Amino acid sequence: MSAADIARIIDHTLLKPEATRADVEALIAEAVELGTYSVCVSPSMLPLAVPEGLKVAVVCGFPSGKHTSAVKAAEAAESVALGADEIDMVIDIGTAREHRYDDVQADIAAVRSAAPSPTVLKVIIESAALTDEEIVGVCTAAVAAGADFVKTSTGFHPAGGATEHAVRLMRETVGPDLGVKASGGVRTLAQAEAMIAAGATRLGVSGSRALLADAGSDVGSGY
Annotation says 103 is catalytic = no
Annotation says 92 is catalytic = no
Annotation says 181 is catalytic = yes
Q: What sign has the CA pseudo-torsion 39, 159, 211, 120? A: negative
Catalytic residue among 11, 88, 92, 148: 88
Residue 156 burial (C-beta neighbours within 10 Å; 0-12, 13-18, 19+)? middle
Long-range contacts of 64-73 (CB under 8 A, 24+ apart): 64/90, 64/93, 65/89, 65/90, 65/91, 65/92, 65/93, 65/124, 65/126, 66/92, 66/94, 69/106, 69/107, 69/110, 69/111, 70/110, 72/107, 72/110, 72/111, 72/114, 73/110, 73/111, 73/113, 73/114
Q: Which residues are catalytic?
A: 88, 151, 181
